Each structure stands twice: as C-alpha cells, then as structure tokens.
C-alpha cells in the first residue's frame, strides 16, 4: 500500500505542475497577441526609415552626424545581448548566449569584446565570462520608445567617444509563435547599402541637408533598437507559450502513465488480497 500512496502523491504533483504550465501558456498566449501586433505594426515604419537612412549614406559624410557612419580600425567591440528577465521559455535565452560566445570566438577573435546586457537571464550567465558594462533589464518593465531612447543614447555616446569601434545587437527576431531567429545586427557604425546608385540630387533638403541627416540618424538608431527589443519581447512570449504547451503535453502524458501504473498496482493488490482470503478459507476447510 505504501507503493500506491507514493504513486498517488506523484499523480497529485504532476497534476499540479500541469495546471501551472497550462496557466502560464494561456498568459503568454494573451501577451503574445499584443506583442505580435506591436512588432507587426512597427516593422514597415522601421524598415522604411532604415532604408531611407542607408540610401542617404552617400550624403552622410558631409553631415554633422557623420561620426555614426565612420568606420574605424576594429579594436573594441560591444555586443548588446537582448534576453529576458524570466526563464521557462525553452532555448530563447541560451541561444542568445551561445551566439554571443560564437561572435567573440569567431568573428571578433583577438579583439576586446564587452557585453551590454538587456535582460536578467543574459546578465546572470554572461557576467561570469565577459566584462558586462551594464545591465538594463528594467527596460522590459515598461517597454516604451522613450525608455529605449535612453539606452540608444548610451550606446551612441559609447561609440561617439571612441570607447568602442563597433556595436552589434544580438537578439531573437520574431517569425511566429514557434520560431525565433537568432539575429546579429550591426548597430554602429551605420551600414550603407552596397551598390546603391541613389545620389544626393535625388533628394531636396529643407531646411538643410546637415540638419536633416543629423536629426535622422539618432532617430533611426533609436527606432532600430526599439524594433529589436519589440522583436525580442514578442519572441520571448512565443517561446514561453510553446515551451509551456510542450510541458503541459508531457505532464499530461506522464499523469496518464502514472494513473495506469496506479490502477495496475491497485488491481494487483486487490488480487493478492482475494488470493489470501481464498487460501485462508481453504486452509480452514482442510
């Protein structure tokens, strides 16, 4: 009977876990819908602004914002690792950590590589192996353009002052609820479009070319970072919803197996009791 008690305890434990994972799945599904709508609505604006900035790259050299488009000898690199503040989302965070390590060991071997983390989970792991300049996991408490702009300003200042020669964003790009694409995207310096034939004569600048371009560059960079964070935020909820769905299915399967084992053990116990009773009765009759 002790065995039956142990199985009942396991069934209760698995059932409780299944309820938790099912609830987390539904919460993430609700949050995913809002986050997905946000990133879907933002992408056309962000892509158009980035395209415009890159098409103007030939004119940036003469603008006051040219510092953000100037290539420098690559000695120091800052990787902005965007993860989540919470776990239970499958390989969402571990994939970013692996990509950061891969970038350091392969693309930037022999360079000074530091990390700027956005998200508690990434900071907890990467701080053991990298020099983490700062962690801004608080951004996800209120993911607004104004809050993200302060982080973008920090990154632009680090590049402007020459602290880093290149800054890359490493994040999960949202494709759908089940698929997140690990993306490494150059943030600074600005990448001009190769083979673009557009010349400055294609644009009429009002009031002045320098003023427009110098205003456009910071805005485009802030929008680029905001889009990356929106992508990551939607990807996080998609990954968590998928992970919790699988966990719920596994818990359901395990519970059913335990119930089957319990019923077999209970049937065997009852059969043994009947055999003992029959055996005792025959002994008394004999």
State yes or no: pLDDT of 80 exceeds 80: yes
Of 22-36, 49-63, 137-151, 221-235, the one with minimum mean pLDDT is 49-63
The answer to whether residue 86 sits within a structural domain is yes
Contact at 8 Å (CB) between 231 and 181?
no
Q: Give per-residue pLDDT as tens, 192-221.
A: 655 544 444 466 767 766 677 777 888 989
Domains of the chain: total: 1
Q: Give per-residue pLDDT as tens, 147-196.
A: 999 999 999 999 999 999 999 999 999 999 889 999 999 999 987 655 54
The answer to whether residue 208 sits within a structural domain is yes
pLDDT of residue 178: 87
Contact at 8 Å (CB) between 84 and 121?
yes
The answer to whether residue 168 sits within a structural domain is yes
The answer to whether residue 153 sits within a structural domain is yes
Round the average pLDDT of the chain to a whole number and report it: 87
How long, in residues, is the chain? 286
Tokens (6 digits) for 14: 């698995």
Gap between the Cα atoms of 111 and 115, Å rounded: 13
Q: pTM, whole model, 2 decimals?
A: 0.84
Q: Give per-residue pLDDT as tens, 236-259.
A: 999 999 999 999 999 999 999 999
Q: Which residues pair with 77 in a beta bridge?
A: 113, 166
pLDDT of residue 26: 93
The answer to whether residue 263 sits within a structural domain is no
Strand ranges for 43-165 from DSSP E: 76-82, 112-118, 131-135
State yes or no: pLDDT of 13 exceeds 80: yes
Per DSSP, the three-state class of 170 is strand
The answer to whether residue 158 sits within a structural domain is yes
pLDDT of residue 201: 46
Domain holding 81, by residue range, is 22-243
The percent of residues in the chain predicted with pLDDT above 90, rounded, is 65
The answer to whether residue 271 sits within a structural domain is no
State yes or no: pLDDT of 63 exceeds 70: no
The answer to whether residue 273 sits within a structural domain is no
Contact at 8 Å (CB) between 83 and 100?
no
Gap between the Cα atoms of 199 and 24, Å rounded: 53
CATH code, domain with 206: 3.40.1380.10
Q: Give per-residue pLDDT as tens, 100-156.
A: 999 999 999 999 999 999 999 999 999 999 999 999 999 999 999 999 999 999 999
Catalytic annotation present for 89: yes
Q: Which of 63, 79, 89, 125 is catalytic?
A: 89
């Amino acid at each position: 009977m002790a065995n039956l008690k142990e199985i009942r305890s396991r069934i209760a434990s698995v059932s409780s876990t299944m309820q938790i994972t099912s609830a987390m799945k539904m919460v993430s599904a609700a949050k995913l819908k809002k986050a997905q709508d946000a990133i879907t609505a933002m992408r056309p604006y962000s892509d158009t602004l980035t395209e415009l900035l890159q098409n103007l790259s030939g004119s940036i050299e003469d603008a006051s914002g040219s510092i953000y488009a100037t290539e420098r000898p690559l000695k120091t690199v800052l990787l902005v690792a965007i993860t989540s503040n919470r776990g239970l989302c499958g390989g969402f965070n571990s994939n970013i950590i692996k990509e950061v390590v891969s970038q350091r060991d392969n693309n930037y071997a022999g360079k000074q590589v530091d990390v700027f983390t956005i998200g508690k989970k990434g900071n907890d792991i990467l701080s053991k192996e990298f020099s983490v300049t700062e962690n801004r996991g608080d951004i996800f408490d209120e993911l607004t353009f104004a809050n993200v702009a302060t982080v973008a300003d920090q990154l632009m200042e680090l590049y402007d002052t020459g602290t880093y020669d290149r800054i890359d964003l490493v994040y999960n790009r949202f494709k759908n609820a089940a698929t997140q694409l690990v993306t490494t995207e150059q943030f600074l310096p600005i990448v001009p479009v190769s083979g673009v034939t557009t010349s400055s004569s294609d644009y009429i600048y009002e009031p002045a070319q320098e003023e427009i371009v110098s205003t456009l560059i910071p805005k485009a960079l802030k929008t680029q970072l905001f889009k990356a964070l929106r992508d990551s935020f939607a990807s996080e909820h998609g990954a968590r919803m998928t992970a919790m769905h699988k966990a719920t299915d596994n818990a359901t399967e395990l519970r059913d197996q335990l119930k089957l084992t319990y019923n077999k053990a209970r049937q065997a116990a009852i059969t043994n009791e009947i055999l003992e009773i029959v055996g005792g009765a025959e002994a008394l009759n004999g």
